[in-house]
């Protein structure tokens, strides 16, 4: 029996590798002869660097940058292709996990550290950057990143705007003259895990703002500010970024990358699945198990579990989706390649306990699943 476990991270609970290992441990405890293939995945957030660097046998680089609230953080990015390509996760510098729950406020959090990672890689002479833009704590449209790269965002008095999504309310003009010269000629691809536009009911602020600490009033303010950024980008840079799928990713960082760095947005999961030779690895499998912290309607739009399920469906392999929590609308996934869906959380638990017990819950679920498969 060949079982493929191919999860994304269960945010704030388990990395993708930890989730896969816990599943394998539980399953093998019940069926020791099973062949478990572990394929940790990512779609643009946590795990992208590890997945691509290990697949390409590259190297990891450490540096210190500003975190979302400007406290120093040690961040890691990868180099592959003999140092010609950098793999960067914006979450390493600007991720939600870097901000204590009580301090989360997207009016204040900044992508400055992401810009500093890009600068560090550019000064090493890379020719290409693949930037994963999932898992952000920010809603600043990439303004902090831009300023870290020498691009000036000024208010009506010619002073730099304050950092964070709130500072965009004062944006009056954008000036590209000081942009880091080492960026010239570098091809930048953003590995994107969603296809949301920048603003509106399905935009960055409305869909993702609340998980970053935004109240209903903040969501309206943030959306208005991103709309202001979009208008000034169109006026000063001649680019219309508002409605492009993925421009709302990472609190509008997708739009910022398009506007300031001429980046290309691609589905991150497709990049990773190709890099790890997913189609080849799942061949002849009896079952593919994939998942992440939460499965919901958004899973359909470029998320890891959907990408894995689509590849498995092409080979007519059954797919089980697992998560810490299932939303009511997750049922739609059963119409798009998933055979069944399960929560690994045993009953109603406080959030902190569910997160801390993730590995144990995964192992327990895998043990139970193996028992069901033995009934065949």
Query: Could you report the per-residue pLDDT of 322-370, keeping only the tens digit for each?
Result: 999 999 999 999 999 899 999 999 888 888 888 899 999 999 999 999 9
Question: What percentage of the chain carries pLDDT values higher than 70?
Answer: 100
- Residue corresponding to tokens 């309310």: 169
Quickly count: other Cβ atoms within 10 Å of residue 159's Cβ: 11
Average of pLDDT values for 133-137? 92
- In angstroms, the CA 302 to CA 325 distance is 19
Average of pLDDT values for 157-174? 98
pLDDT at 298: 81
CATH placement of domain 48-269: 3.90.1510.10
Average of pLDDT values for 248-258? 97
- In angstroms, the CA 279 to CA 299 distance is 20
Q: List the structure tokens of 256.
A: 């910022």
Of 3.50.50.60, 3.40.50.10350, 3.60.21.10, 3.40.50.880, which CATH number belongs to 2-41+278-373?
A: 3.40.50.10350
| In contact, 322 and 289? CB cutoff 8 Å | yes
pLDDT at 204: 96
Average of pLDDT values for 229-235? 98
- In angstroms, the CA 121 to CA 166 distance is 28
- In angstroms, the CA 232 to CA 171 distance is 8
More confident residue, 238 or 375: 238
pLDDT at 181: 97
Residue 241's nearest CA partner among 218, 260, 220, 268 is 260
Q: How many helices (H) and strands (E) does the chain have?
A: 13, 13
Average of pLDDT values for 78-94? 96
Q: Does residue 202 surpass a pLDDT of 80?
A: yes
Bridge partner residues of 290 (DSSP): 321
pLDDT at 376: 62
Backbone CA torsion sign across 308, 313, 317, 322: positive
Numbered ranges of CATH 3.40.50.10350 in the chain: 2-41+278-373
More confident residue, 187 or 351: 187
Question: What percentage of the chain carries pLDDT values higher than 90?
Answer: 82
Average pLDDT, the chain: 94
Numbered ranges of CATH 3.90.1510.10 in the chain: 48-269
- In angstroms, the CA 374 to CA 359 distance is 23
Could you tell me whether strands 152-154 and 173-175 are parallel, antiparallel, or unpaired per DSSP bridges?
Answer: antiparallel
- In angstroms, the CA 29 to CA 21 distance is 12
| In contact, 26 and 363? CB cutoff 8 Å | yes
């Amino acid at each position: 029996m060949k079982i493929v476990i191919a999860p994304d991270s269960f945010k704030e609970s388990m990395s993708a590798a930890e989730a896969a290992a816990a599943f394998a441990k539980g399953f093998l405890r019940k069926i020791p002869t099973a062949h478990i293939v572990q394929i940790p995945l990512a779609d643009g957030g946590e795990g992208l660097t590890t997945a691509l660097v290990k697949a390409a046998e590259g190297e990891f680089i450490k540096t210190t940058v500003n975190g979302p609230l400007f406290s120093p953080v040690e961040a890691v990015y990868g180099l592959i292709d003999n140092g010609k390509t950098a793999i960067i996760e914006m979450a390493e510098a600007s991720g939600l996990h870097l901000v204590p729950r009580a301090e989360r406020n997207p009016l204040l959090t900044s992508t400055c550290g992401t810009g500093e990672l890009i600068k560090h890689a550019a000064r090493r002479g890379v020719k290409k950057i693949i930037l994963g833009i999932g898992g952000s704590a920010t809603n600043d449209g990439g303004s902090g990143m831009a300023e870290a790269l020498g691009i000036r965002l000024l208010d009506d008095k010619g002073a730099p705007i304050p950092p964070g999504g709130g500072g965009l309310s004062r944006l009056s003009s954008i000036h590209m003259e000081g942009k880091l010269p080492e960026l010239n000629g570098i091809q930048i691809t953003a590995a994107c895990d969603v296809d949301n536009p920048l603003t509106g009911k399905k935009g960055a602020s409305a869909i993702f703002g609340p998980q970053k600490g935004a109240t209903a009033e903040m969501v309206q303010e943030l959306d208005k500010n991103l709309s202001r950024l979009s208008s000034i980008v169109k006026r000063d840079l001649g680019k219309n970024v508002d409605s492009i799928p993925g421009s709302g990713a990472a609190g509008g960082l997708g739009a910022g990358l398009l506007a300031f760095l001429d980046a290309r947005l691609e589905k991150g999961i497709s990049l990773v699945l190709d890099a790890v030779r997913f189609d080849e690895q799942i061949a002849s499998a009896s079952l593919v198990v994939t998942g992440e912290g939460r499965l919901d309607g958004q899973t359909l739009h470029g998320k890891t579990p959907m990408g894995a399920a689509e590849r498995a469906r092409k080979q007519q392999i059954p797919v089980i989706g697992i998560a810490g929590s299932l939303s009511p609308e997750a049922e739609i996934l059963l119409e798009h390649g998933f055979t069944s869906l399960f929560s690994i959380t045993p009953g109603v638990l406080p959030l902190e306990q569910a997160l801390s017990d993730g590995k144990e819950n995964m192992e327990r679920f895998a043990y139970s699943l193996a028992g069901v498969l033995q009934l065949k």
